[in-house]
Amino acid sequence: MMMLLSFVFFMTLLDSGHGRLLPREKVVLDKKEAFNFFKIFKDNIDHECYEEGCTFNEVVKHYGHSEKSYEYWNTYQCKQFKKDCDDVACRGNALGMENSKISGGGILASSWYSAYVDFLPSQGRLNNNKGSWCPKAEDQDKHPYLQVELPQRHGVCAVATQGSALYDTDYVTTYEIQTSLDRKNWVTYKENGTDKMFSGNTNAKDMVKRNLDQPVLAMFVRFVPKEWKRWPCMRVEVYGKSANCTVRTTDNKCCVFPFMYEGERMFNCVSYSFGRKWCATTSDYDKDGEWGKCLEEDLK
């Protein structure tokens, strides 16, 4: 089961219909992290899969509808068929919805079913058994979404969803993913040049995880329900790896996003003169006063 993740050569950040794609060497885990990650599979079904072959449903029968099933399957596909090996550990790195590393204040929504705290945006955490995010009725919120703010810029590799924890009838069957670096400009995730419609849940209870073709650079992620059963309730998780130095300064330091400036959080370089831009090189410019001029080639 143990394997060494392969690394790719340096690539330039790309602009495409996906949003801003992120070079994989900025998101895959290093050798030590990778080996620690794969050690979670102590009680496994290696004999069945690697000697006889297995299907995803057979893995689910062994581990249930859980994170372990999806990551065993991803690992098996890489090990046995050399499929999607670059991002296998990145897709297993949950960013903090389920374990609350992402604070409730970082979880927003277009609306929520008022008067009931069980349906707040902050209830939309994977495997939360006390509630789930549910928007207002369709005639009051025609374009519902659940928005997650990541701790910092990440390469997003995968997402997972569940339906309502309280009502078996309420879950999302198809949805889109939108990403942003600044909360203002949003890009719908695309594959093969068209907006990707993710297959969601077939019941409210079971977790369904979907991989992205390539990591997408994001600070904010929106889950946008498109079709649902009875009510578009969601519990979600986002998977990825911290993005390293996505924008440099002219003196080759790394911009830090977000950073505090005049009491506000800045998510991008700030314009200051004749179209030139600057960033802080610590998380708090107001306190530290450390800054640099943003390298233009990194802003394209």
Task: Say what the pTM is.
Answer: 0.81
pLDDT of residue 1: 35
**Burial call 6-32: b when 16+ CB within 10 Å, e when fewer:** eeeeeeebeeeebbbbbbbebbbbeee
Q: Report angle CA 234, 99, 114 to the nearest 5 degrees.
A: 40
The reply to whether 151 falls in a domain is yes
Do 111 and 234 share a structural domain? yes
pLDDT of residue 37: 47
Q: Beta strand 171-180 with 187-188: parallel, antiparallel or unpaired?
A: antiparallel
Q: Report angle CA 266, 219, 136 to the nearest 5 degrees.
A: 105
Range of the domain at 79: 27-89
pLDDT of residue 85: 82
Do 115 and 229 share a structural domain? yes
The reply to whether 3 falls in a domain is no
CATH number at residue 284: 2.10.10.10
CB 81 within 8 A of CB 106: no
300 residues of the chain, pLDDT tens digit each: 333 333 333 333 344 444 655 554 444 444 444 444 444 444 568 888 888 888 989 999 888 988 889 888 888 888 888 887 877 888 889 999 999 999 999 999 999 998 789 999 999 999 999 999 999 999 999 999 999 999 999 999 999 999 999 999 999 999 999 999 999 999 999 999 999 999 999 999 999 999 999 899 999 999 999 999 999 999 999 999 999 899 999 999 999 999 999 999 999 999 998 889 999 999 999 999 999 999 999 987
The reply to whether 159 falls in a domain is yes
Do 202 and 77 share a structural domain? no
Do 157 and 124 share a structural domain? yes
The reply to whether 292 falls in a domain is yes
Do 282 and 152 share a structural domain? no
The reply to whether 1 falls in a domain is no
Do 128 and 175 share a structural domain? yes
Do 155 and 229 share a structural domain? yes
How many distinct structural domains can be found in the chain? 3
The reply to whether 232 falls in a domain is yes
Omega cis (within 30) before 258: yes
Q: Which helix (H) or strand (E) holds 21?
A: strand 19-21
CATH number at residue 177: 2.60.120.260
